[in-house]
Structures are given as structure tokens and as C-alpha cells.
Structure 1
């Protein structure tokens, strides 16, 4: 049996909160609830990890020892906004798969995945029908397809402080670093996903970030993009491709691309609209496409606006954008 240790700090917090709200009776109830849920599950083998992913409940933490965990790992139990489930370890705790998904959060809302490495297989970390997932300080690499994917209306997710590289080994331009939504599926409302302060690339065999139609309110902020390895296959020719609505792209730094830095498209009527680009720095030196713009807006109209602020900068290429710049 894996060691399970209670989290004293959580117990103390729950008790103090309950005392403030309702006195000793509620405090005892809070103690009981915390004692049943707030535990650390220590894991050091693949078999233990698979078991822990099914056993963990709201408030629990699964702690991975350094080592290689071979297999496909899936979580289906949801935490809650007030009692998240955490999977944590150092970069030396490596999930590696021969195929399929490295880590699949299937209906596993309110999980935090922190610190670990995911490599090998078809896709790295997949969130399906999982709201409020936080992926923090992970390393994802060496995949046939995309690195991190929020899909099937997985809203309010966050990927931050992470490194993603060496994806898309199948060569079809389908190895996006971060992928939000589903191509052609307007029912996939993976909304308000935040992509913050990551380093994505090199050798990402699709766009560094792809925001699909059907999704709204994504934020792409503070990232570093390296387009070395873009293939040009399947329209894979920019760091970021925006097809969702009301997307903020701010404070990113991009270098090395085959064509443009950022693009917007309307794959479905009424989508790809409302994007705001501001404070981004683009280095297009060495790009080889026929446009070579920092921001190529393919779908601008009064009904489908895009805003490119004058605070964006570009080095090399043929210019900042093909639309009027907003001060």
C-alpha cells in the first residue's frame, strides 16, 4: 500500500474557517472532511501511479518520486474549485508512453499538474471535458502530435511556466505546442484558456499555439515562441493561429518562422473575430514565405474586427501587419 499522509496545514485551515463561521460543531465536521480528503499519496512506480489516479479524491496530492513511468495514464475523478487534486513531481519524474496519450484528464476537472515531464506517445497532456485544469511548470516533448490539448469544452484551463518542444514527429503539420478546441467543431467550447509565460519550440511540428473556432476568450500572454521546425504542412507557417473569438495575444516574443508570426482566420462564419494583439515582439529574420508579416489578418471586416496595437514591434520581414494599426 502506498503511504498516505494527511496535510496538517489544510486541516488547520479548515478548522479555523469552520470555527470562524459556525463554532466547534462545524469545526469538527471540517476536520472530518479534511481528514478524509487531504492526503499525500506517494508514488514511485507506474502501477502505483495508475492506481493513485483512480483513488485520489478532492484535496488529495499525488507526489511522484523521480524516475520513469512507462504507460498511458488517465484520471477520471474530478476535484472541485475549493479542493483541487494535484499531481506533482520534479522534472525528473517522467511519464513516457509508447503511443496514445501520456496523461489524459478525462472529465477530471480541477486538477493541477505540476513540475513533471511528459514525453513519447501520440500526445502529451490531454484535457477532455475537464474544467479548471492548471498545468504548471511542466516539460512536454518528443511526441508524434501536439503537446498540450484542451478539448471537449474544457474551459478555464491554464498552461503556464512550462516548456514544450520536439512535437509533430508524424510530419503532417499537426504537432501544435498548445491546441485549444477542435477543428470544425463549434460545440467544443473550450473557453477562457490561458497560455501564460511558456517557452514553446523549437522543433514544434505545428503552430506553437492553435486556437480553434468554437472557443472564446483565450489569453496568450508572456510566452516565448521559437518557430524553428515549422514544416509548412497543413498550413503550419506561423507561431500562433487564431480562429476563435475574443482572443488576447499580449507580451509574447517570437523568433524564426517560415512565413508570418501570427495569423487570424475564419474557418467558420462568425469565428476568428475580436482578436487583440498588443506589446508583442516579432523577429522575422530568415522567414521565407511570400508575406512575412508579424500579423497576417486574413478575415478583417466591420463584423469581424481584429486590433493590432502600435505597441507591437517587428524586426525583419516585410512589415508589421496588413491592416491599419491602432495606436
Structure 2
């Protein structure tokens, strides 16, 4: 099975009341952990690569890792560019075999966002590739994406119809209270997604797939484990998983997950070194790290996304 676009995935997800997990990848163990979980649970899958991950791992190496995952799992897998910040980057990924790209011009004025997004859409559609765009800006840090809380903004529902109509984008990332990175909300607060904004967007774009970024839940157990073995992370509060599941039952067809995987991997490696200080074999400490990612992804697929056994 070749790499696929998200078109059929999103149709099924929208009608079925579940979401597809979009998991960020940048090395072999992360790809393996994600895809092994998805294979066992027969879940459709989006593997996404940021600009920074592509620079770190090299486009060709990433392509071959994802191609290997398709061969090994037989799953419908989409390869997606996360937070493409220019037409040139999106074009390079399209030309290089990605089946989906995100153009993020959400920091630009509305008219400029439309202009940039439309240019990417036209090129992508000419090459059989789908495009995700964004309205509204999320606070937080993820690779090159850095937005302060003061500069973040919720999506304005009254803009979505014009934006989608004029750009021709295939899915839309909106800002309803999620946040990039591990440090999401003040201690003692309970994050609350703006379902009123989501509901209004759904009314204006019936049947259209919506995307949530910054949706990791940041398990406290991994923060505590990192700190136990030499780290210095403050407490982190993630997006409550029950709210993400509620969003998945609505029009949210794609939920991005990255920080959870990083925390699971890093905490497991720190624990391994604490228990085996003399070991220097990467296979020994990356094996349990890969297993931690697999278990995390399996939990997300079943308990948050609801996309287990939806691949075929």
C-alpha cells in the first residue's frame, strides 16, 4: 500500500465520531513505537514531520523510515508536513513525496494568510496532495513555532467560511484553547476547551474536517520521573483527555500529539541510565524508550482518539 492522503481518513472519521492521531516523528525508534501500536490496533495513522525534524533527520532518511513503516504494517499512512512556514518548504515536501502539507500563515493578516494558503493549495492539488491551513494562533513553543500567551488568539468563527472558500484548503486547524509544548496552563487551573467556538465553526463549515494542534496531555508521571532522575521540569498541566475525546466526537478529525511522546521517551531513558549507569549501548536504552512510546500511542488511539480498528 502506498502512502495515502487524509481525504478518505477524514471522511470516515467525521462520520464515525473519532479522530486520527497525527504523531510527530524524527527518528527510527519513534516511528517504530508509533506504527507498532497502530498496527496492533488496526488504526489509521498520520506521521508528521516538522521543519526542524526534517532538518535534523534529513528528508531522505525520513521518507525511507516512513516507507518501511508502510511495508511493515500495511496500514493507511499519511505523511504530513507540520507547520510549514513558507510556500518553498511546502513545495519541497510535496515534490519529495509527502501526501499532505500544512501551511501555517496564521500569524499573518487575514488577507495575507488567504493569499499564501491559496498558493500552496493550488500547487499541492496539482500534485495530488492535500493541504491543512490554520486560523487563530496557539500559545506555546514547538520547534520554530513560538507564540506568547499575549499574542495567541482564538479562531474567529465568522472568518472560516470565507477563508476555506477562498483558499480551497482541505482541513482547518483552529485555536480553541489548546497550547503547544509541555508548559501549558497555570498550576491549580483546569483547562477548558472553547467548545462554543468549535460548535460555531461546525455550523458554518458542515462536514468539513477540523484539526487541533497542541493537544498533548503531558502525563505528570513522566514529568515526575524526569525530575527524579536529574531533571528540573516544573509541573505541567495538559489538555484533559476527556475534552479531546469530546472534540473527536464532533468535527475534529485530526489531533496532533508530540510532547507526550517526547516526555515518555526522555523519562524512560533517564530512568534507564539511573539504573544502569555503566551501560553505553544505545540499543539497550532506546528499546524501553520505544516501548514507552508504543504504550503511549496505544493509549491515545483507544482512549482519546477512538480510532482503533478503523484502518480498513
TM range (shorter): under 0.3
Structure having the higher strand fraction is: 1
Answer with 1 or 2: which has the greater Rg: 1
TM-score by length of 1: 0.25
What is the TM-score of this pair, normalised by structure 2? 0.26
Q: Which protein has greater RCO, CA pairs closer than 8 Å, 6+ apart?
A: 2
More helix, by proportion: 2
